[in-house]
Amino acid sequence: MPEATNGSLDAALSPAVLHSIDQVPGLPNDDQKFWWGATVPAFVRLLQDCQYTEEHQLLYLNWYYRWIIPALGPRATAAECPNPRSILVQDGSQVEFSIKWKEAKAQRAVRFTIEPTGYEAGTPSDPLNQKETLKVARAMTPEVQGMDLAMFEHFITATMVSNEAYEELQRKDPPRMPAAVSCLAFDLVAGQIGSKAYVLPRPKSVSTGISMRDLVYESIRKWDGDRGSYEASVGTFNDYLESFAGVTLDSVDSPPSVASVAIDCVDPAAARVKIYSPTVARSLGKAKYAFALGGGLKGEFIDKALAALEDLWVTLFETKDEDKEVFHSDKPPGRCVLAVEMRPNQEPETKLYLPMINTDMTDAQICAALEGWFTKRGVPQFANTYRDMLSNAFPEHDILTGRGLHTYISFAYTQKEGVSLTTYYSPQIYKYHAV
């Protein structure tokens, strides 16, 4: 088994899983050894603490070894700071772990997002790292049941730019040009692997002069057909964006728009398209406005959702004042981020991301607030184990005084499943692992 440099992997594994992993061949190069040591112990411990069976731990760890470790590319080095390659996490980490809890289900789900990075990334042959995500996804598809790249291929093709256009892009918008344009995310549930792809349209927008909103709308509408139309969802979201026309905003804010899009990598008939939009919300009142799409979502269902959102907000930030700002705007994102999920012939569903990295809260304070919230939601077993789960998964991080482990907390609410809460974690690769 490859050696883990982040704590003892042996201690994290049950004897049965450890015996099976002992048969795994060694990793072929120092880059893969680095990513194994920097990410696998946390991954394994999260699986164990979220009550995954030994069979599923082994299945997911073998898959992670075969596909994820090689996809991360060159190891992170301290020399890259303060300008790391990755755009995935604010601290530059190429991996972000998360735990999803649904009110209607007993088990938490382990998830993670990666930014696949090729060895040509950042060079003249692939300056925006456009090749690797699609390459990894195509290679993986035959081994992941139900994985379908039709919609991802469509969206990434619509937003890619030629290498020849890169120098012109740099002249047009050098300070804000992202170093990559796509990411992959995975949900690990009951032995299955669910996958999503994220696409950032900014380079294409700068290159063509077409707004990111119009680029994404056009790409979505091209999937109208026998499955139905996305027009209802797009229209409701666009009405929300238009509600800011002519509104005077704070000097640090710009009107909400489109920042990125995510696509389920499944049969298009079952796939969601998710638009991510930075809001102007740093207070409860504005967070509610965003979640309800400015009044575009109405009825008893949305009233229950907003009540649950307020309960979470008050538990986290200890204020019912709808005008009190709780997030700092001195670094991105500095405000809540809205995700709008779209399906044909349906009204959209929303998810709100709270940027915990923009608060003064330590990770211990966030843990305490979440422990209280889980207790109120009737799952004391999660409350009683939450802090220990993070201490086990990220032993190098001082939970008591440290900050930066919690990146976001996302909130969603559906009629079928009630509250869905996801907590996101950065392994802080450059702080604890890069040399």
Burial class (CB in 10 A: 0-12, 13-18, 19+), 391: middle
List CB contacts of 366: < 8 A, sequence separation 6 or more.
316, 356, 406, 409
What one-letter code names the amino acid at 232? A
Statement: the pTM of the whole predicted model exceeds 0.85: yes
Residue 187 has pLDDT above 70, yes or no: yes
Residue % of the chain over a pLDDT of 90: 71
For CA atoms 344, 181, 281, 377, the dihedral sign is positive
Is the pLDDT score of 172 beyond 80?
no
* Rama region for 92: left / alpha / beta (φ>0; ψ in -120 to 50; rest): left
| Higher per-residue confidence, 280 vs 254 | 280
What average pLDDT is seen over the chain? Answer: 90
**For the chain, what is the largest distance between any 2 Cα atoms, rounded to a whole number of angstroms?**
64
In the prediction, which pLDDT does 126 show? 85
* Structure token pair of residue 291: 């979640």
In angstroms and rounded to an integer, the radius of gyration of the C-alpha atoms of the chain is 21
Torsion sign across C-alpha atoms 308, 310, 313, 318: negative
The 10 Å CB-count burial string (b at 16+, else e) for 67-104 is bbbbbbbbbbeeebeeebbbbbbbbbbbbbbbbbbbee
Q: Which residue has the tokens 């996801």?
A: 422
How far is it, in rounded angstroms, from Cα 338 to Cα 262? 12
Strand (E) positions, 309-392?
A: 337-342, 349-355
- What does the DSSP 8-state code read for residue 43? H
Rounded Cα gap, residues 55 and 422, in angstroms: 24
Report cis status (omega within 30 of 0) of the bond before 395: no
- Tell me the mean pLDDT in the region 317-326: 97
Q: Is residue 3 pLDDT above 80, yes or no?
A: no
Judged by DSSP in three states, 330 sits in coil
The pLDDT of residue 2 is 57
Burial class (CB in 10 A: 0-12, 13-18, 19+), 164: exposed
pLDDT at 5: 42
**Residue 198 binned pLDDT confidence (cut-offs 50, 70, 90):** very high
Place of tokens 């002069």: 209
In the predicted model, what is the mean pLDDT of residues 233-254?
89
Q: Which of 425, 434, 431, 430 lies closest to 42, judged by CA?
A: 425
